[in-house]
Structure 1
Amino acid sequence: MLKIAICDDEQIVCADIEKIILDFKKESGLDLEVEVFNSGTDLFKFIENENTFDLIFLDIEMQDLNGIQIGIKLRNELEDYVTKIVYISSKDNYDRQLFEVQPMHFLSKPIDKEKIIADIKLALKILGKSGGVFSYKIGHSVHKIPIKDILYFESMDREIKLVSIKGTVYFYDTIEAVLSQVSSFQFIQIHRSFIINYAYVSKFRYEEVIMQNGECLLISQRRRKDVRDLLISYEKEETQCN
């Protein structure tokens, strides 16, 4: 899923961009989620409340909290250097402060449909969205990792252990919240404590799976049939593709 925010104090601009995105979603079959904001303050409060976006179409000239201020707060206060920002403006001259924000692109009003679509495709490419991106927070910082790089998640009381090809990290969340982010990808919950990426399963046994890093993870009794059926189906698909 690519999570997109549109923020402009002109409602008609927001409506135009939203329609372009939703039409493109229908035509392409891509999993795109859109949130619309008519105030910079509302957008930033939403993000502060532990909500994240992959791509933001952001108006520069807003009355309360303008696009430049939001971008700087996003990068400096929330330490989010991953979210892609496309600035929208009715002017052609851009403030030097924008370089601090490192936007992905600039769009001039009136909005061009093909440029919006091109920016969505570019964000997908940059963020590796063919496999998705998983978002999590450590303190006030938002971190993102390509879903294709994740081996498994383990719930340890209130803490989540994320094991990837790049290493292991810990963050506070629930296993249910993790599953909601990854369930549309190649993940399955094999136990109340484990969610695995079945692309990284090296061997399947009746009571456990062995991951490609050598770790053995327990399968709960009530999930064994579902896990077995899914892994068999996945192996067939892989064989057909190869």
Structure 2
Amino acid sequence: MTENLQADCVQSRQAGFIQRFLKPTGRHPCGIACNTHCQIQRFHKQHCTEPPCGILHSIAHRTGGLSNHMVPMKIAIADDELYVCQQIRECLLQYSTQKNVDMDAPDIYTDCRTLYNTDLSGKRYDVVFMDIDFSGENNIARLFSDSYAVRERCSDGLALGTYLRHILGHQNFDIIYVTSHENYAIHAIPIRPAAFVQKPVTFQKIAHALDDMLYYRDISHRIFKCTSNKSLVHVQVSHIRYLNSCGRKVYLQTTDSRISFYGKLSEVQQEPCFSSFIQIHKSYLVNPDYIDHISSNTVFLQGSSHEQLPISRAYQPLVEQWLMKG
């Protein structure tokens, strides 16, 4: 079943991307990104004849063939030269086809002001390809508050990048700078761009930048880092059964150990690696891959220990929503 599901998902992602890409106004209709579990369930219902087995979210991790971007990537391109935007757009289409990465048709901006004035909270871009030099906009930093304006020596693309990073601050938001000047990289380091692409744009350059970005993003989704007993600990997210908080500490229960560190669960759960976990209580966050079954007020986990975790009344609607998706 998983092989059929994998093939159908890949085929559907490619067809869907090309269809959206060829429509000038084609945007993903959902303003809020659905999680991977929901997307796989949707593909399963459309393309598979066998009944679902277990938690479908785990299929994405265990087959190894499904992309991390079951939800189409949302991309913007900002460059004052339209032909450069079109070159990047064509490279993205080729990348999507070759790498089986689903993408929405990119939004194109040919000036900084338009992108600055765009309400990005609804678009939630995953990555923005951005020029550093926009002709005629050398004073772009004046658009921004003094606290986030970059040094005078930095040009408009860097100022806008600083604004996007500090004001919008999506955890899954990346900037890839497209520039003719290699020395700009020194000034841009504090903005934490994912990559630099030096003009002229080629498919190899765009593909290399996206490969790097997706690799490090994948690492951030698979590994959680924390400080426990004054030592830095790296934990594979797939081995985490659940997290719970008590007082000033968060306890992380894995398949074979229990790790504690100082922090707040409300802050920890904002990490990208826990985006698929389910909050069942203000003090509990559960990995759905380890859920055996759920009653009205209890989550029963898999394993010989038969652990049971409480579902608080406040979080019952969230659990019910998750069950409806599954």
TM superposition score category, shorter chain reference: 0.5 to 0.7
Specify every segment of 5 or more residues in structure 2 that has no aligned partner in the other structure, as ranges.
1-68, 141-155, 223-236, 244-250, 253-262, 268-274, 281-285, 302-306
Q: Matched residues in 2 for 1:100 and 1:209: separation? A: 46
Offset at 1:59? 0.3
Which residue, 88, 101, 110 being the options, matches 1:30? Answer: 101
Query: CA separation of 1:205/1:87 partners in 2, compared to 1, >3 Å: closer, same or farther?
Result: closer
Post-superposition Cα deviations, 1:143-165, rounded to whole Å, max 9, x if no partner, equal xxxx978979xxxxxxxxxxx96
Query: CA separation of 1:75/1:168 partners in 2, compared to 1, >3 Å: closer, same or farther?
Result: same
Work out whether residues 129 and 177 of structure 2, in 8 Å CA contact, stay in contact via their aligned partners in 1.
yes
Structure in which a larger fraction of residues adopt strand? 1
- Partner of 1:215 in structure 2? 309
Post-superposition Cα deviations, 1:86-132, rounded to whole Å, max 9, x if no partner, equal 21112333175312212222212110211211211211111128969
- The yes-or-no answer on 1:204 pairing with 2:293 is yes
Q: Please show how residues 1-242 of structure 1 align to structure 2 within 5 Å.
A: 1=69, 2-33=73-104, 34-46=106-118, 48-63=120-135, 64=137, 65=140, 66-79=156-169, 83-94=173-184, 96-128=186-218, 168-169=265-266, 198-201=288-291, 203-205=292-294, 207=296, 210=299, 214-217=308-311, 227=323
Which amino acid letter does the alignment assign opposite residue 45 of structure 1? Answer: N
Total equivalences in the alignment: 184
Q: Matched residues in 1 for 2:87 and 2:159: separation? A: 24
Which amino acid letter does the alignment assign opposite residue 191 of structure 2? Answer: V
Paired-residue identity, %: 22
Structure in which a larger fraction of residues adopt helix? 2
Work out whether residues 124 and 130 of structure 1, in 8 Å CA contact, stay in contact via their aligned partners in 2.
no
Q: Matched residues in 2 for 1:29 and 1:95: separation? A: 30
**Larger radius of gyration, structure 1 or 2?**
2
- Partner of 1:158 in structure 2? none
Q: Matched residues in 2 for 1:227 and 1:94: separation? A: 49
Work out whether residues 55 and 123 of structure 1, in 8 Å CA contact, stay in contact via their aligned partners in 2.
no
Query: CA separation of 1:228/1:107 partners in 2, compared to 1, >3 Å: closer, same or farther?
Result: closer
Q: Matched residues in 2 for 1:113 and 1:12: separation? A: 14
Q: Matched residues in 1 for 2:242 and 2:125: separation? A: 23
TM-score if structure 2 supplies the norm length? 0.44
Q: Matched residues in 2 for 1:129 and 1:37: separation? A: 30
Offset at 1:4? 2.4
Query: CA separation of 1:228/1:79 partners in 2, compared to 1, >3 Å: closer, same or farther?
Result: closer
- Partner of 1:215, secondary structure, is strand
Q: Matched residues in 1 for 2:241 and 2:157: separation? A: 33
Work out whether residues 75 and 81 of structure 1, in 8 Å CA contact, stay in contact via their aligned partners in 2.
no
Query: CA separation of 1:37/1:93 partners in 2, compared to 1, >3 Å: closer, same or farther?
Result: same
Offset at 1:168? 3.1
Which amino acid letter does the alignment assign opposite residue 109 of structure 1? Answer: K
Specify every segment of 5 or more residues in structure 1 that has no aligned partner in the other structure, as ranges.
133-146, 153-163, 171-184, 191-195, 231-242
- Partner of 2:184, secondary structure, is coil
TM-score if structure 1 supplies the norm length? 0.57
Work out whether residues 91 and 203 of structure 2, in 8 Å CA contact, stay in contact via their aligned partners in 1.
yes
* CA-atom RMSD in angstroms: 4.3
Q: Matched residues in 1 for 2:325 and 2:171: separation? A: 40
